[in-house]
Amino acid sequence: MPQEIGESAPEPSHRGQPNDIYRILRDRICLLHYPPGYKLAESELAEEFSVSRTPIRQALQRLEYDGLTEIRNGVGTTVRQVDRAAFDDIFALRLRLSELIGEFPAYDEVPLALATVDGLLRPAKQAKADNNKADFWRLNHQLQEATSKLIANHALRDTHERYYLQACRIWYSVIDDLFEAQSSDFIVEVTDIGRALQHGDVRAVGYIQRNHISYGMRRIVELSKRHPAPT
Amino acid sequence: MPQEIGESAPEPSHRGQPNDIYRILRDRICLLHYPPGYKLAESELAEEFSVSRTPIRQALQRLEYDGLTEIRNGVGTTVRQVDRAAFDDIFALRLRLSELIGEFPAYDEVPLALATVDGLLRPAKQAKADNNKADFWRLNHQLQEATSKLIANHALRDTHERYYLQACRIWYSVIDDLFEAQSSDFIVEVTDIGRALQHGDVRAVGYIQRNHISYGMRRIVELSKRHPAPT
DNA sequence: AAAGTTTGTGCTGTGTACAGCTCTGGACAA
DNA sequence: TTGTCCAGAGCTGTACACAGCACAAACTTT
């Protein structure tokens, strides 16, 4: 049963309801609060957000279009399992997209990004020490958000975010084995990106991100070799 | 008032109604049958497709999410004008995406693509001779569809299609001035891609496409220099 | 005559009822 | 005991009614 994860409260009186609901649900999926296979019942969500099924359906359909959920008639909406083929495709593309960041640098955003990234280092170490996966996801999210803003090309930025959201679900099945490695890696990544930003080198940020995406991908490949029959 | 454009008839009994409606409307927008600024009234469409407003709304919301339309409360759904900044971003990204095609070649699809592309040459020349813009768009669409299938990476293919759909609307405002150049260019592109496919060189297909996207982009830039105040 | 206000029209946003589909569990027959 | 079939529950898909909002035209006031 999901609990508060730092999202804005589901105020019933707010205007852009469907959009807000979409974002909240998306974050829950990507923060693995709703694990793959989790069933999202329209009526339950309608009750939680104190609206009718209609705005809920809008949000769920958008999630399906994002590739995050799967809606089957007569069954319900479930969080999609990422199959390995799709996973490989998405990671391969993310590598290339990160390499493109340097082609469209938004230097205006560097100071803000630097401040954000600097603020991530201490909590990241804390989350690693505490073995706190939820916090770790949130920090990952924040880093992603900060680097996205460094992309001046709006189309690339959208795509970059889109596939980040799709990719992060893959970690659900492997995080128990890889948390140690990934959290260490994250600290290195934050440090390196901070250094790059101090130099104002957005292209470097992209390459650093590319490398760490690659490292994560390789870890997953290694792990699935050791466990050849993933449940 | 839109008329048949080769789409499958709006059979009322069909199953995946919202998805079909979405695709039909999307094609109408991208084939410029619905020009930028065109107003899509839910009730009208509901009548045309013989369904209630509900499935129509689903399709329209998806179109908005694609960036093709704009929904404003109390006003209606209109086909979005592409502003130049977004246009530049999309074209710049499309150049890079086309360059990536060769990294993920789907050689299995080469024979089918070759057959399709070969079949495009004659109608393309015909459309150019007839100054038939509608046919020209359709052929453009078919070439895009054929080359998309050459991309083995599903994520890249989706993105590639996505931004093609967004980009093609820009031609609406400039096609009268550029039809001659673009249709000539298209014939060259079809010829070159056919040659590349005969060699089984998918990477070459990507580069050819990249180049012609670039040519088109430059033509638009040139044109907007000559007409510095576009209405 | 001009400016501000009001009212009317038409649109989308939301809520609700019902139809259609899928799966599950139990009863019956082999 | 096991396989099969059927009925019921629960879900989403659709249709429709009503509320909220935006714009425009007409009206009133100055």
d(CA B196, CA A122): 53
Residues 6+ apart with CB under 8 A from B95: B210, B213, B214, B217
A90, A96, A154 member nearest B89 (Cβ): A154
- Whether A21 contacts A55, CB under 8 Å: yes
Confidence of residue A25 (pLDDT cuts 50, 70, 90): very high
- Residue A92: pLDDT above 90? yes
Query: Cβ–Cβ of B100/A96 closer than 8 Å?
Result: yes
Q: What is the pLDDT of residue B207?
A: 98
A92, A96, A155 member nearest B90 (Cβ): A155
C1'-nearest nucleotide to the CA of A15: C13
Residues B55-69 have a mean pLDDT of 93
C1'-nearest nucleotide to the CA of B56: D14
Residues of B in contact with A85 (CB under 8 A): 154
- Whether A38 contacts A52, CB under 8 Å: no
The dihedral formed by the CA atoms of B135, B137, B139 and B144, expressed in degrees to the nearest 10:
-170
Residues of A in contact with B155 (CB under 8 A): 86, 89-90, 92-93, 163, 166
For A176-189, the pLDDT digits (tens) are 899 999 999 999 99
B61, B65, B155 member nearest A93 (Cβ): B155
For A68-77, the pLDDT digits (tens) are 999 999 899 9
Q: Which nucleotides of D are covered by protein (CB under 7 A)?
A: 10-17, 20-23
Length of chain A equals 231
Query: Cβ–Cβ of A159/B93 closer than 8 Å?
Result: yes
Residue type, A89: D
One DSSP character per residue, B3-56 reads ---SPPP--TT-SSHHHHHHHHHHHHHHTTSS-TT-EE-HHHHHHHHTS-HHHH
For B142-177, the pLDDT digits (tens) are 999 999 999 999 999 999 999 999 998 888 888 889
Ranges A13-17, A22-26, A65-69, B67-71: which has the least confidence:
A13-17
d(CA A205, CA A147): 8
Q: Which nucleotides of C are covered by protein (CB under 7 A)?
A: 10-17, 20-23
Query: Cβ–Cβ of B89/A61 closer than 8 Å?
Result: no
- Dig out the tokens for B206 from the structure: 């990507």
B61, B155, B163 member nearest A58 (Cβ): B61
Q: Which of A17, A57, A91, A97 to probe by mutation at the B interface, max B CB count within 10 Å?
A: A97
For B91-110, the pLDDT digits (tens) are 999 999 999 999 999 999 99
Residues A104-108 have a mean pLDDT of 98
Is strand D less than 7 A from the beta carbon of B191?
no
**The residue to which tokens 């992309």 are assigned:** A151
Closest to B38 measured CA to CA, from B59, B63, B69: B69
- Dig out the tokens for A144 from the structure: 């992603």
Q: For residue A23, what are the CA distances in angstroms to A20, A149, B91?
A: 5, 18, 28
Query: Cβ–Cβ of A156/B103 closer than 8 Å?
Result: no
Residues of A in contact with B153 (CB under 8 A): 89, 92-93
One DSSP character per residue, B130-171 reads HT-HHHHHHHHHHHHHHHHTTB--HHHHHHHHHHHHHHGGGG
